[in-house]
Structure 1
Amino acid sequence: MTSSELNSKIQHSKSDALWQQGQLVEVEIADLSDSGDGVGRFGDRVVFVPDTVTGDRALVRLVRVRPQYAHGKLQELLKPSPHRIRPRCIVADKCGGCQWQHVDYAYQLVAKQNIVVQALERIGGFTHPPVQPILGVGKPLGYRNKATYPLRRSPTGQVQAGYYQKGSHQIVNLNQCPIQDSRLNPLLAEVKQDIQERGWGIYDEKNHRSKLRHLSLRIGRRTGEILLTLVSKDGNLAGLEDQAQTWLHRYPELVGVLLNINPDRTNAIFGADTRCIAGQPYLTEELAGLKFQIRPDTFFQVNTEQAEALLKLILERLQLQGDEVLVDAYCGIGTLTLPLAKRVKRAIGLEVQAEAIEQAWQNATLNQIENVDFQTGAVEATLPHLNLQPHIVLLDPPRRGCDPAVITALQTLRPDHIVYVSCNPATLARDLKLLTQSRRYALQQVQPADFFPQTAHMECVAFLQRFSNQ
């Protein structure tokens, strides 16, 4: 071993010695990660610190140490960032529902913009990616149209409902939440009290015993209609029918009380069986001038206003002429398919969940839209066998992104335009790289949109156009 190699090894050993679990270190926060943590450095390595913001100088305790990075816990704020604000929520330091209540909204938008750009550069390999300024919201609180709370019983026997404490399965009990639609807040405290008085058993996830697991509230932002759903291990809740009628009488906006049965030992919230106890099994919402019937377990964007704004951007960008054939992959209940179908010659929606396709057909009938066809099946299985030449393919996959077979099918189908809606900048960047590396498609624009203020999450829509010689 040479002298320089020996010195290097000694220096590396000294560096390792500085990194010990439980150690207190001083960290300057330089960025925010896509998980919501502040990002700083200690020595030559990265430290991720929740509850911090760019510009903070903090005393941090290392809680998990890895060879190239560590996770820390904020112990003392030595110098606060100019982007730091007082949270609007009194339990923001405990509740895991939000990561960025302590970050001013203007900087939340800056951070999200940076996350998208960095993902496209680092994962997608794009130089100067065409990312547009992020679409923010006018009111970054009170936007969520759905809230699903796990239920627990406190050591004193009180029924609690709230989100999990950060990094645990302990409930942070809530009687209101500043990011959900304020019209849902009165139900939260009162329904908990009703459950308490009924004496219904509360599920014990450790031992898989007793009954009630979750309370789910959903509201139509435009219509004000509300659904209340209890998720239970079984359907034996004495007096539920009477209680459901009491709720319908007490809350004029409540249109349905439902019971979902989830008997499995699982982290999934809803089971396969949902029963309407009183009222109707769906609420009606309005989006882009259309009506949609939404059930408790229906996927529908939690930010109705931003969903409509994103749809408007897609329409402006595509400049539809009315003679196009459009395929909406991962179409869900037709949230985007149906408004777009009104502007094209024909629209086809693909979706793996049969229940969502059933609702999509119902929504098409409700809105008297006839130039649309919905097909059940995995996109990777159905897209290659459509036997048509679409002008536009709209992608809106889950967080994991597109299956490789979908990318291959798109290269074969060669639509003129691909519109890719994503809730995960990392998988979006990966798939855009695959779509453009064959030189058949050019990435024209990426538009981030803030659907989830107070969190690190966002939506993006990317527009790709096929090269004319391909």
Structure 2
Amino acid sequence: MEHPIPSGLPDPVKPGDLLMLEITALTPQGDGIAHTVGLGQGRVVFVSQAVPGDQVVAQITEIKRNYLVGRIRSLISPSPQRVRPACIVADKCGGCQWQHVSYAQQLATKQQILRDALERIGGLTLPQPVPILGSRQPLRYRNKVTYPITKPEGQPLRMGYYQRGSHRLVNLNQCPVQDERLDVFLREIKRDLQETGWSVYDESRHQGHLRHLGLRIGRRTREVLLTLVSCSRRLPHLESWAERWMQRYPDLVGVCLNLNSARTNAIFGPETEVIAGRGSLREEFAGFSLWIDSTSFFQVNTEQAEAFFTWIADQLNLRGEETILDAYCGIGTLTLLLAQRAKRAMGVEALPEAVAQARYNAQFNGIASAQFFQGTVEQVLPTLPPADIVVLDPPRRGCDRQVLETLKLRRPPRIVYISCHPATLARDLQILLAEGSYRLTQWRAADFFPQTGHVEGVAFLERV
């Protein structure tokens, strides 16, 4: 057997070499981070499936200009933060990255990821953070899943998640991060889809029809929506199958068909048809009822979103006299919560279907102080009256630069920026804080996606 090289020996290091390393940190992708000493003045080594505190012998698989990539050949001393994954295919499935890491270590890493982004990318001087908001339920929390469907020639139909960095599907019959009440649908609907004989989409040839199975559940109401994504409506006897499913599952309130014929990685297309039952489920959230369509955006961790949004509203110390603007409001989840405590809450959303659903949710709950405007934030923001508080909750790409410049001109007294991507949060905060007209008063991380590297964050700004 080859002998491992102590990490302090000099170059050259080449693919296949074995290095003794201590893992000191964790990437969002689930790789452990180690540092060599003396190898070209020291280099970073990313080691797959490693945990902070592990001492390993790693085999180098790739040599890049600024870093090395390796895999564990042997575990000399496992970290106290290393745990047995809850899923038997956790090392293969790309749905989760951190199941081999203790939840305490996950939270500490997410707090550090947000801090590093704000300090290193944003160049910000940070006040002391509020401790990260951890999830009370690190498993079985997802209220929505969408499974790709494949059918290799001569083999049974498969559903699951792709392996990390590939389009090789890992076939699943249950998933420990989704609501456990969805497991039966995953197993039994997969069997039924095999029986239907419907053609399955082949992305390499852009042929076939059936692409994804989508499931969504109301955590408090138990209502379930089932959505098939297909390139066309050519699914024989679809109505009969939908009625069969509605009769079999008492909690199933609707079966929908979403049409997506584009050669794209986007899951949903622009058109959704209700095949049986209804196209929305009802969920209880922060004391009101939400109606959520099969393709609408809604946080996948209901309990954590409720806890985080309620905490944010509490921090604002609203007196019932404020006008609030909720940009990128989706179906109005946070807008309605704030409208209950303020004089007026205005939500802005680009998607017409989401705005229609937000308006319906406001009407259904009798919240007259909530108003919703359709259009992009950069288009609508200049047309709205001044707000005492502006809430930003953009997609991963962050805010359009025009939105930030408009805010700097309007100078609302307070800005709350909620983000699902620390890097774009840091970039946008740097712009908002550049001229010294605002100061950062508070920031906090929250874990909406246990077992993964995703982290939410919020920053509170006050006008100087």
Is the 2:28–2:97 contact (alpha carbons within 8 Å) kept by the matching residues of 1?
no
For residue 433 of structure 1, give the secondary structure of its aligned residue in structure 2.
helix
Q: CA deviation at 1:128?
A: 4.2
The alpha carbon displacement at 1:117 in A equals 1.3
Query: How far apart in 1 are the matches of 2:347 and 2:214?
Result: 28
Verify: 1:263 aligned to 2:261, yes or no: yes
1:253 to 251, 254, 262: 251
Structure 1 counterpart of 2:206: 208
1:294 aligns with 2:289: no
Measure, in 2, the Cα distance between the counterparts of 1:154 and 1:207.
13
CA distance in 2, matches of 1:285, 1:160: 30
Q: Structure 2: which 5+ runs fail to align?
A: 1-8
| Counterparts of residues 225-240 of structure 1 (less than 5 Å) | 225-240=223-238
| Deviation of the 1:16 alpha carbon | 6.4
Q: Partner of 1:451 in structure 2?
A: 448
8 Å Cα contact 1:120/1:129 also seen in 2: no
1:29 to 8, 14, 23: 23
Q: Deviations over 1:379-419 (max 9, x none)?
A: 12221332x22100000011111121111111111111111
Kindly provide the amino acid, as one letter, of the partner of residue 328 in structure 1.
Answer: D
1:398/1:15 Cα in 2 relative to 1: closer, same or farther (>3 Å)?
farther
Which residue is equivalent to 1:430?
427
Alpha-carbon distance in 1 for matches of 2:50, 2:154: 34
Aligned-partner Cα distance in 2 for 1:269–1:137: 27
- Please, which moves more after superposition, 237-246 or 348-357? 348-357
Q: Are residue 420 (structure 1) and residue 417 (structure 2) matched?
A: yes
| Equivalent position of 2:392 in the other structure | 395
Which range moves more in the overlay, 373-382 or 223-232? 373-382
Q: What residue number does 1:93 align with?
A: 91
Q: Would you say 1:222 and 2:257 are equivalent positions?
A: no
For residue 376 of structure 1, what is the amino acid of its counterpart?
Q
Q: CA deviation at 1:24?
A: 3.5
Query: Residues 407 and 15 from structure 1, CA distance in 2 versus in 1: closer, same or farther, beyond 3 angstroms?
Result: farther
Give the drift of 1:61.
Answer: 3.2
RMSD: 1.5
Counting aligned pairs with the same residue, the percent is: 54
Deviation at 1:52, TM superposition (A): 1.1
Normalization by structure 2: what TM-score?
0.94
Match of 1:17 in 2: 12
- For residues 411 and 15 of structure 1, the distance between their equivalents in structure 2, rounded to whole angstroms, comes to 52
Give the direction of change, closer, same or farther, for the CA distance of 1:362–1:190 in structure 2 (3 Å limit). Answer: same
Task: Please list, as runs of the form range in 1=range in 2, the aligned pairs for 1:123-272 lying within 5 A after superposition.
Answer: 123-154=121-152, 156-272=154-270
**Correspondence for 1:304:** 302
CA contact (8 A) 2:126 2:440 kept: no
**Local SS of the residue matching 2:24:** strand
The AA in structure 1 aligned to 2:33 is: V
Deviation per residue, 1:172-218 (Å, 9 max, x gap): 11110000000000111100110111111111111111111101110
Distance 1:447 1:201, change over 3 A: same
Count of aligned residue pairs for this structure pair: 452
Judging changes above 3 Å, is the alpha-carbon distance between structure 1 residues 242 and 233 closer, same or farther for their aligned structure 2 residues? Answer: same
Q: Residue 7 of structure 1 aligns with which residue?
A: none
Cα 1:355–1:74 shift into 2, 3 Å: farther
Moved more, 44-53 or 168-177: 44-53
The partner residue of 2:119 within 97, 114, 121 is 121
Distance 2:382 2:132 in 1: 34
* Amino acid corresponding to residue 30 of structure 1 in structure 2: T
1:102-121: CA deviations, max 9, x gaps?
01111111111111111111
**How far is the alpha carbon of 1:155 from its aligned partner?**
5.0
1:142 and 1:178 in contact (8 A); partners too:
yes
Q: Look up the SS of the partner of 1:462 in the other structure.
A: strand
For 1:434, give the aligned amino acid.
Answer: I
Deviations 1:52-88 (A, max 9, x none): 1101122333333321113333333232111001111
* Per-residue deviation, residues 257-279 of structure 1 (Å, max 9, x unmatched): 01111111110000111111100
1:425 Cα shift?
1.1
Letter of the structure 2 residue corresponding to residue 361 of structure 1: R
TM-score, normalising length: structure 1: 0.93
Which residue of 459, 462, 465 maps to 2:462? 465
* Superimposed CA distance per residue, residues 140-172 of structure 1 (whole angstroms, 9 cap, x where no aligned partner): 100000011001114542111000012211111
Tell whether the 8 Å contact from 2:29 to 2:453 is kept in structure 1 after alignment. Answer: yes
Alpha-carbon distance in 2 for matches of 1:55, 1:132: 25
1:81 counterpart (79, 82, 89) = 79
Checking the alignment, whether the CA contact within 8 Å between 1:227 and 1:255 is kept in structure 2 is: yes
What CA distance in whole angstroms lies between the structure 2 residues aligned with 1:213 and 1:325?
Answer: 44
Q: Secondary structure at the match of 1:402?
A: coil
Residue 71 of structure 1: aligned partner? 69
1:133 and 1:65 map into 2 onto residues whose CA distance is 37
Structure 1 residue 302, shift from structure 2 partner = 0.3
Q: Distance in 1 between matches of 2:373 and 2:310?
A: 25
Q: Deviations over 1:19-64 (max 9, x none)?
A: x344433332111123332111233111222311101122333333
SS of residue matched to 1:336: helix
1:227 and 1:75 mapped to 2: Cα distance? 45
Q: Relative to structure 2, which stretch is displaced further, 359-368 or 123-132? A: 123-132
Equivalent residue, structure 2, for 1:50: 48
Match of 1:409 in 2: 406
1:117–1:129 contact (8 Å) kept in structure 2:
no
SS of 2:199's equivalent in the other structure is: coil
Structure 1: runs of 5 or more not aligned: 1-13
The residue type paired with residue 179 of structure 1 is V
C-alpha distance in structure 2 between counterparts of 1:410 and 1:56, whole Å: 46
In 1, Cα distance between equivalents of 2:102 and 2:10: 35
Pairing of 1:327-406 with structure 2 (within 5 A): 327-386=325-384, 388-406=385-403
User: Aligned letter for 1:211?
Assistant: H
In structure 1, the partner of 2:438 is 441
